[in-house]
Structure 1
Amino acid sequence: MTDQQLRDLLWDLASQQRWFPGRGGTVAGARAGEAVEVHDARLLPAVLEVAFPDGRREDYLIPLVLRDGKPPMDACDDGAVLLEALRSGAPGFEATRPIPAGLPARRFAGEQSNTTVFFSDQLLVKVFRRIEPGINVDVELHEVLAGSGVAAELYGRWRVDGTDYAVFLEALPDPTDGYVLACRHARDGADFTTHAWALGEALATVHRTLAERLPSDTTASGAVLAAGFRRRFAQVEAEVDEVATHSAAVDAVFGAIADEVVATQRIHGDCHLGQVLLTRGRWVYVDFEGEPMASLEERRAPDTPLRDLAGMLRSFGYARADGGAPASWLLACRRAFLEGYGLDPDVPNPLLTAYETDKAGYEVSYEARYRPHLMRVPLDFLSELPEGA
């Protein structure tokens, strides 16, 4: 296969997929690693290099399965090859648990930024699509959280030249998406506080385990945080006129943290109800990659656990809006979640309020662009901030 043929093939395969955001760019190149022999096939790690008009360049992984007499195909459409490569200890594949043979493979249809293939109901592989040199945060944190009970157990990894291409994890039995479940409860007017409390308790375990196994003595300046929050909110004000009436209250919220020194550690980084699964009565946090558009360095940087709490609290607000539940439903969920985490909801927490306000500002901008009918959700939160916060 010539370089041009590889470029054309990878572009054709990627441009048809939901996970690929590079349609606004152009092919800058393509490269292939060493092929791995797996039974009657060869597994070829191939990377499409995309250049964007703003100068960004991004790499996208499209692993190929090559068989004599057949056209190349995305390995995620023939997931058995990936599982056998792990089971047989092919170069680059490292198993951390015994790997069963012959499990049927099923590609998950709801993929977004990555691709997941399930192997029966026992394990799965998540193939990372946008890759950066180095250890993937999701792989790293699943290793750290092993045995904690609040994250899926690690089965193995695919790592090429120090860069993670895929992670193999426990497939959680009978999983229910946290956001789907919360919306259902909100729609039915059903109490969700038991689940909210358990979600808080599980997140506390995540944070405690990360702090113990990845100890950090780092801190952040409240003044620097406040300046960043104000800068981002000013951008929102420039885009969305409706936030102008909340500017004074928002500025007071951010000003209240200026003198704080904030302890930081490794966190989830993209925490919301869509990142938790209920599996046979147990809440498990998933997808530890952090914000998808952030760099690997940014996603690995220590932060305050309150960022994760703020993300989950904002998510409860969206579930309430989706289900049309009363304000009392949301308040009860928020209180239960904080209590489960170990915080007193009756004690003011200016830093948590600042993080949630910053998140709400981002949401206003996002909803104004893509989902105007939901802009009321973050605006309602901002409208409840006291002027003298």
Structure 2
Amino acid sequence: MHTLEELLAHWLPQQRWFAGKGSPITGVTLEAESVLVPGDPELRHLVVAVRQDSGVDRYQVLLGLRGGEELPDRLRHASLGGYTPGAGGSAGTGPVQVYDALHDAELTSALLAGLAAGADLGGLRLRHIAGVEIDTGHTSLVISGEQSNTSLMFGDAYVLKVFRRLWPGLNPDLELTSVLSERGSPYVARPFGWIEGSVAGTPTTCALLQQFLVSATDGWLLAATSVRDLYSTPDLPPGQAGGDFAGEAARLGAATAAVHRKLAEALPTGTVGDAELAELADSMNQRLTRAAASVPGLAPYTDGLRAAFKALTELDEPMPVQRVHGDYHLGQVVRTDAGWVLLDFEGEPAKPVPERTQLSNPLRDVAGMLRSFDYAARYQLVGHPYAEELAAPAREWAQHNRTAFCAGYAAAGGTDPMAHQAVLRAFEFDKAVYEVMYEAHNRPSWLGIPLSSIAALVG
């Protein structure tokens, strides 16, 4: 029979949200363990410290324990294996089956009930927004496709996002969605509550309960559908092909500008001068150096990229900064019957909270979305038999929608991206360099997407 630490060491690297893939685990420690629901089945909350060559990362695991030799059929896919708890466990001292409890609606109902009651369970504090009444009569279902976290859909009312990789502190997703919702922004999913624990002695956001958007369609899916329509009629310009996305791109730009404006009204803003701009350019150059050493195909473009980063240090005036989304792309927005809604304000999950909450220029988010338009246009050409013939229409589609997004952003009162090319290009190139590294390590067949974009942009 394995120890719990051994089961976790085997199971964690198989999860989509595990950040340390490709590097061996050298140790697993349970930093915190508490029983949230006693009995059989039992619900436990774990904070798991995972040691690898790159350092130590903490992960949140909600563990189910059931007596017997096998799990019910509906839970077998979530199994970690068999385990014998110590005498202190309420599940008893005999062998039990251990599994990812987020897939067990019988146990997750306790989380929704705890949020409704404002309860303390084990070492967790479950709280709801003042004045909110939470309906506990919903059954949970895990939403598939999450990359960094695990989200539960409770009927058609709520989504509970469980943050998997834990960084000490208040998660920006809770902070920013609360700020925007309090100020009446229609462009965010309303937050209803949160779960808080303690990591390294610091109060830490473990989960966020939000409104479930019934009519929502993923922005990436909508853009991809438009691209497929274009590919079926490649001789037509993007604006004349069926499923033209430019109108939606413009409205998305306007929604983005409105969110940036609300954040600037509610939270600190500032400017950065020569010293800070030089530091920002230096960090971009360092990332480029690492990427070029790892991906030889980037070498022909390094001079052009460095020139774009250097232009940041030559701005005529200080650069305004504020709180921004921080990880913005088509997968972070949905189209509802009422319009666009922005999701996942947590920033880049691989960065500690203090880094994610640093002020930045809003064009960083604009640059992220522009890169996403390029990806939406090109990814369907990977392995496509007519990739060469469709490359030009793909570029036209991307440019068509990039232009529409920027126009919508400027028309809604945002900084005109076209009037601040030095800042926009630096952020966009820096994002593309990051993409080169990501694809080289995770999806080599997609490496041509950011490389071809860099070649076109630098050229």
* Cross-structure match for 1:383: 455
Residues 48 and 60, structure 1, Cα contact 8 Å, conserved in 2: yes
* Cross-structure match for 1:330: 398
Query: Which shifted more, 21-30 or 121-130?
Result: 21-30
* Cross-structure match for 2:196: 159
Matched, 1:19 2:14: no
Residue identity in the other structure for 1:216:
T
Identify if the C-alpha distance between structure 1 residues 375 and 58 changes in structure 2 by more than 3 Å, giving closer, same or farther: closer
Identify if the C-alpha distance between structure 1 residues 248 and 168 changes in structure 2 by more than 3 Å, giving closer, same or farther: same
Q: Tell me by how many angstroms 1:38 deviates.
A: 8.3
Match of 1:217 among 243, 267, 270: 270
Matched, 1:194 2:247: yes
- Hey, what's the Cα distance between the residues in 2 that align with 1:153 and 1:39? 34
- Hey, what's the Cα distance between the residues in 2 that align with 1:347 and 1:213? 26
- Hey, what's the Cα distance between the residues in 2 that align with 1:239 and 1:14? 27
Residues 36 and 90, structure 1, Cα contact 8 Å, conserved in 2: no
- Hey, what's the Cα distance between the residues in 2 that align with 1:217 and 1:287? 24
Match of 1:257 among 295, 303, 312: 312
* Cross-structure match for 2:236: none
* Cross-structure match for 2:438: 366
Residues 107 and 117, structure 1, Cα contact 8 Å, conserved in 2: yes
Identify if the C-alpha distance between structure 1 residues 237 and 10 changes in structure 2 by more than 3 Å, giving closer, same or farther: closer
* Cross-structure match for 1:353: 425
- Hey, what's the Cα distance between the residues in 1 that align with 2:458 and 2:161? 44
TM-score (norm 1): 0.90
Q: Tell me by how many angstroms 1:250 deviates.
A: 2.0
* Cross-structure match for 1:74: 100
* Cross-structure match for 1:173: 214
Query: Which shifted more, 290-299 or 39-48?
Result: 39-48
Q: Tell me by how many angstroms 1:269 deviates.
A: 0.7
- Hey, what's the Cα distance between the residues in 1 that align with 2:370 and 2:165? 29
Q: Secondary structure at the match of 2:270?
A: coil
Residues 115 and 127, structure 1, Cα contact 8 Å, conserved in 2: yes
Match of 1:231 among 279, 286, 290: 286
Q: Tell me by how many angstroms 1:255 deviates.
A: 2.1
Residue identity in the other structure for 2:110:
V
* Cross-structure match for 1:150: 187
- Hey, what's the Cα distance between the residues in 2 that align with 1:199 and 1:172? 17
* Cross-structure match for 1:293: 350
Matched, 1:182 2:223: yes
Q: Secondary structure at the match of 1:350?
A: helix
Superposition pairs of residues 61-140 of structure 1, within 5 angstroms:
61-65=60-64, 71=97, 73-78=99-104, 79-91=108-120, 92-96=125-129, 97-140=132-175
Q: Tell me by how many angstroms 1:227 deviates.
A: 1.9
Residue identity in the other structure for 2:209:
F
Query: Which shifted more, 234-243 or 378-387?
Result: 378-387
* Cross-structure match for 1:341: 409
Residues 75 and 81, structure 1, Cα contact 8 Å, conserved in 2: no
Query: Which shifted more, 295-304 or 40-49?
Result: 40-49
CA distances 1:245-303 after superposition (whole Å, capped 9, x unpaired):
32332232222221333221111111011111112241111111111211121111111
- Hey, what's the Cα distance between the residues in 1 that align with 2:64 and 2:441? 39
Q: Which ranges of structure 2 fall in alignment gaps of 5 or more residues?
A: 67-90, 231-242, 381-389
* Cross-structure match for 1:206: 259
- Quote the RMSD (CA, aligned, Å): 2.5
Residue identity in the other structure for 1:88:
A
Q: Secondary structure at the match of 1:117?
A: strand
Identify if the C-alpha distance between structure 1 residues 34 and 375 changes in structure 2 by more than 3 Å, giving closer, same or farther: closer
Residues 187 and 322, structure 1, Cα contact 8 Å, conserved in 2: no
CA distances 1:88-144 after superposition (whole Å, capped 9, x unpaired):
221111111210022021112223221111000110111111112211121111211
Identify if the C-alpha distance between structure 1 residues 36 and 149 changes in structure 2 by more than 3 Å, giving closer, same or farther: same
- Hey, what's the Cα distance between the residues in 1 that align with 2:420 and 2:332? 27
Identify if the C-alpha distance between structure 1 residues 234 and 71 changes in structure 2 by more than 3 Å, giving closer, same or farther: closer
Query: Which shifted more, 243-252 or 191-200?
Result: 243-252
Q: Which ranges of structure 1 fall in alignment gaps of 5 or more residues?
A: none
- Hey, what's the Cα distance between the residues in 2 that align with 1:22 and 1:329? 36
- Hey, what's the Cα distance between the residues in 2 that align with 1:25 and 1:274? 30
Identify if the C-alpha distance between structure 1 residues 336 and 72 changes in structure 2 by more than 3 Å, giving closer, same or farther: same
Identify if the C-alpha distance between structure 1 residues 232 and 17 changes in structure 2 by more than 3 Å, giving closer, same or farther: closer
TM-score (norm 2): 0.77
* Cross-structure match for 2:32: 32
Larger radius of gyration: 2
Q: Secondary structure at the match of 1:384?
A: helix
- Hey, what's the Cα distance between the residues in 1 that align with 2:136 and 2:309? 55
Q: Secondary structure at the match of 2:263?
A: helix
Residue identity in the other structure for 1:312:
M
- Hey, what's the Cα distance between the residues in 1 that align with 2:156 and 2:306? 50
Residue identity in the other structure for 2:5:
R
Q: Tell me by how many angstroms 1:224 deviates.
A: 2.0
Identify if the C-alpha distance between structure 1 residues 46 and 192 changes in structure 2 by more than 3 Å, giving closer, same or farther: same
